[in-house]
Amino acid sequence: MASLQSSFTVLATTPTPRNSSLSKPSLLPTTNARRSHRFRVSCSSNGGGGVDRRNMLLGLGGLYGASNLISGRKANADPILPPDLSQCDPTGATTTSGGQTVSLDVDCCPPYTDIQSDYKLPSFTTPRPSGGGSSSEMQNLEFGGESAGTDTDEDVVITGNQEEGGATSSQHTQNTGEQESPRMRDLDVTDPDDPRGFTQQANIHCAYCNGPYDQPDHPGLDLQVHNSWLFFPFHRWYLYFFERILGSLIDDPTFAIPYWNWDNPRGMFMPEMFTFPGTPAYDANRDPSHIPTGTNPVVTLNVGSTVTDPVQIISNNLTQMYNEMIGTPASATDFMGQPYRDGDAPHGFSGGGTSEQGSHTAIHVWVGDPNNEYNEDMGNFYSAGRDPLFYCHHANVDRMWTLWKDIPADYSKEITDPDFLKSAFMFYDKNKNLVRVTVADALDYKRMGYEYEPSNTPWMNYRPQQRLVPANLESLSKTAQTVAKLFPLTLNNTVKVIVPKPATGKADETLVIENIVTDNTKLVKFGVFINDEDDKPEEVDRAEYAGSFTQLPHRVKAKQSTGNLRLNLKELYENINIADDKSVVVTIVPIINGSAVTIGSVKIVPRVA
Ligand code: C2O
């Protein structure tokens, strides 16, 4: 049994009292259509990546050599190879529970065929005009199946926009009896081995995350698409084929997965159209307190937060978005995730990029039902794809990648490492052909035939308000200890420590929290503040908030993980308007399971670009 990759688990949220002003969300959740356009699929069997790896390395010359040194990568490393489907272990799916790795009673191996080919992207054609992708597509999502039959007459358009666009899905929703193609959920029943079926599609996520696949030529070493630079490209391809298959089954090649814009206050609720029992987009396995009529309907992007005031939650969310998209990342891999190559053991907490670890994970946690054994559906990787919301959530995650790429920054947003570009995955396309796709082909989403309808991104301007008067370091230091006295320590309580700076005042520096040792089976979170006089750890929309560390329980062989947390301070120094001080006071606040984490030390170093 494979036993070495991470899984995803959730905290049990304590329902907080209903806030009477919020019994019915006044800001309706909105989703926006992810736009796509007509395309053609063709397969080729030209047998491979074509480019000689050695030539590639030579071509990149000195640049490649330099990054090689910096990352300290193994000389013999190679891209992650696509899984060998014939080797998929049907009993290999596991998750973490109560400190143990437990087998899941689920076979998420795909049907196997040995006929494979490289996938060729369709040629680019003109996108549909704005406004055409209507949410009525979303309302049905055309999963079909058991619930659709009883509800055909009641399908309601929530925010339809048909008059402005071309084809919409409405014509398909009214004629279920006459449809020639089966719907996705129908296939689960009529042909469970059809790779286009809904359950088969959901299983893709389980197979790539919960252990059934080993890395080719590395028996026992799991293939894992989370916590690394594979995160965005893998999920982009996953959605791509899901979208094309769904479009083909409903005979609408323009079908587009709508995105759930949880990054906007108007979208910080569970989209209502997913919440009607008996409709295809419904899933009973969600946190009941988070449905629109639940006790706690506002999305929180801060895992473990106990804030109940919706205004504060939304402000925290926007700050979180600003930080993970703009404020925190100082390199492409900071945002995308760390390198992960052939033969590498899957990374733990420190491998994922700011977006994956931040809003992405938070939404999984927020939607999944903590009353279920493994927080199904969204709260565990193996089951997340069973919730139709997953696809709309990940459309927005993918949109974040596109937005981040366009935000000007003082670092390059490209990862040119061949081991990244040549990493590959296997999918079934809409014609049930098994195809191989690469990361390189997923970098330009417009080439893949879709784009995103624009919507507001208020977080882009949500940098925390700058302090006018710097904190008084002298009085802050009175309640703090020195590094030497305090560390190492177990994080049972909030601690304050005086940390020397290499340069005075507003320098380009990084805080490093070193040798963080965590219990892998526990959800762990702590927050970090700099020169904080207010001590309100629940309010993360303040200049003093430097960031947080979140570890989801995950499965690795070792019981503990060790890693460092690096937080860039340049912008924070400006925000707190730091004086020409030679040190700062760092506050570390345990938020979840502080007793399961020990910290070796804390230091501030000049930032390594
Ligand atoms: Cu593959 Cu949102 O996880």
pLDDT tens digit sequence for 7-22? 332 222 222 222 323 2
Across the chain, what does the average pLDDT equal?
Answer: 78
The answer to whether the beta carbons of residues 195 and 428 sit under 8 Å apart is yes
Q: What is the DSSP letter of 576?
A: T
Q: What is the dihedral of CA 161, 28, 335, 497, to 10 degrees?
A: 170
In the reported structure, the alpha carbon of residue 381 is separated from the centroid of ligand 1 by a whole-number distance in angstroms of 7
Q: Give the N- to C-terminal CA distance of the chain in Å, as an integer.
A: 41
Choose the weakest-confidence range: 481-495, 509-523, 529-543. 509-523
Q: State if residue 347 touches ligand 1 by the CB under 6 angstroms criterion.
A: no
Q: Identify whether 393 is a catalytic site residue.
A: no
What is the phi/psi pair of residue 413, to 5°?
Answer: -95, 0
In the reported structure, the alpha carbon of residue 238 is separated from the centroid of ligand 1 by a whole-number distance in angstroms of 10
Choose the weakest-confidence range: 105-114, 185-194, 329-338. 105-114
Q: Identify whether 335 is a catalytic site residue.
A: no
Percentages (nearest 5) of helix, strand, coil residues in the chain:
30, 20, 50
The answer to whether the beta carbons of residues 151 and 174 sit under 8 Å apart is no
Range 231-250 average pLDDT: 94
The answer to whether the beta carbons of residues 513 and 588 sit under 8 Å apart is yes
Choose the weakest-confidence range: 150-159, 218-227, 483-492. 150-159
Give the number of the atom of ligand 1 that is nearest the alpha carbon of residue 225.
1
47: left (phi over 0), alpha (psi -120 to 50) or beta: left
Nearest partner of 224 among 240, 203, 237, 206, judged by Cα: 206
Of the candidates 37, 290, 364, 393, the residue annotated as catalytic is 364
Give the number of the atom of ligand 1 that is nearest the alpha carbon of residue 234.
1
Q: Report the pLDDT value the prediction gives residue 254, as an integer from 0 to 100.
A: 81
Q: Is the pLDDT of residue 57 over 90?
A: no
Strands (E), 366-439: 424-428, 434-438
Of the candidates 37, 290, 347, 360, the residue annotated as catalytic is 360
Looking at the DSSP bridge assignments, the partners of residue 583 are 500
d(C-alpha 529, C-alpha 533), whole Å? 10
Range 552-558 average pLDDT: 61
What is the phi/psi pair of residue 403, to 5°?
Answer: -70, -45
Q: Report the pLDDT value the prediction gives residue 143, as an integer from 0 to 100.
A: 53
| Span 442-465, pLDDT tens digits | 999 988 888 888 888 999 999 998
Nearest partner of 531 among 597, 601, 467, 605, judged by Cα: 467
Range 468-478 average pLDDT: 95
Q: Report the pLDDT value the prediction gives residue 418, as an integer from 0 to 100.
A: 96
Residues recorded for the chain: 609
Cβ neighbours of residue 238 closer than 8 Å, sequence gap 6 or more:
204, 205, 394, 427
Q: State if residue 236 touches ligand 1 by the CB under 6 angstroms criterion.
A: no
pLDDT band at 30 (very low <50, low <70, confident <90, very high): very low
In the reported structure, the alpha carbon of residue 245 is separated from the centroid of ligand 1 by a whole-number distance in angstroms of 19
Strands (E), 373-522: 424-428, 434-438, 450-452, 481-482, 489-490, 495-500, 509-519
Nearest partner of 298 among 269, 319, 318, 262, judged by Cα: 269
Q: Is the pLDDT of residue 311 over 90?
A: yes
Question: What proportion of the chain, given as a percentage, has pLDDT over 90?
Answer: 50
Q: Is the pLDDT of residue 1 over 90?
A: no
Residue 260: other Cβ atoms inside 10 A: 30
- Name the 3-class secondary structure at 527: strand
pLDDT band at 33 (very low <50, low <70, confident <90, very high): very low
Q: Is the pLDDT of residue 262 over 80?
A: yes
Q: Report the pLDDT value the prediction gives residue 208, as an integer from 0 to 100.
A: 87
d(C-alpha 3, C-alpha 506), whole Å? 46
Give the number of the atom of ligand 1 that is nearest the alpha carbon of residue 364.
2
Nearest partner of 585 among 538, 546, 540, judged by Cα: 546
Tracing tokens 């030497």 back to the chain, one arrives at: 484
Nearest partner of 275 among 295, 256, 294, 261, judged by Cα: 294
Tracing tokens 């930032």 back to the chain, one arrives at: 607
Of the candidates 37, 172, 235, 393, the residue annotated as catalytic is 235
The answer to whether the beta carbons of residues 235 and 445 sit under 8 Å apart is no
Q: Report the pLDDT value the prediction gives residue 123, as an integer from 0 to 100.
A: 58
178 to each of 67, 137, 168, 192, how far by Cα in Å? Answer: 58, 18, 17, 22
Nearest partner of 531 among 589, 586, 469, judged by Cα: 586
* Cis, bond preceding 377 (omega within 30 deg of 0): yes
Q: Is the pLDDT of residue 344 over 70?
A: yes
The answer to whether the beta carbons of residues 62 and 485 sit under 8 Å apart is no
Strands (E), 407-541: 424-428, 434-438, 450-452, 481-482, 489-490, 495-500, 509-519, 524-530
48: left (phi over 0), alpha (psi -120 to 50) or beta: left
pLDDT band at 45 (very low <50, low <70, confident <90, very high): very low
Give the number of the atom of ligand 1 that is nearest the alpha carbon of residue 209.
1
Q: Identify whether 364 is a catalytic site residue.
A: yes
CA 23 to chain centre: 29
In the reported structure, the alpha carbon of residue 38 is separated from the centroid of ligand 1 by a whole-number distance in angstroms of 27
In the reported structure, the alpha carbon of residue 548 is separated from the centroid of ligand 1 by a whole-number distance in angstroms of 20
In the reported structure, the alpha carbon of residue 24 is separated from the centroid of ligand 1 by a whole-number distance in angstroms of 29
Q: Identify whether 425 is a catalytic site residue.
A: no
Range 487-505 average pLDDT: 97
Q: Report the pLDDT value the prediction gives residue 158, as an integer from 0 to 100.
A: 24
Q: Report the pLDDT value the prediction gives residue 609, as an integer from 0 to 100.
A: 67
> For the chain, how big is the Rg over CA atoms in Å?
24
Output the pTM of the full model.
0.79
Give the number of the atom of ligand 1 that is nearest the alpha carbon of residue 390.
2
Q: Report the pLDDT value the prediction gives residue 304, as an integer from 0 to 100.
A: 85
Q: State if residue 205 touches ligand 1 by the CB under 6 angstroms criterion.
A: yes
pLDDT band at 585 (very low <50, low <70, confident <90, very high): very high
Residue 100 belongs to what H/E stretch?
A: strand 100-103
Answer with the residue of higher pLDDT: 407 or 93. Answer: 407
Range 76-85 average pLDDT: 83
Q: Report the pLDDT value the prediction gives residue 148, as an integer from 0 to 100.
A: 32
Q: Identify whether 172 is a catalytic site residue.
A: no
Nearest partner of 2 among 200, 223, 216, judged by Cα: 223
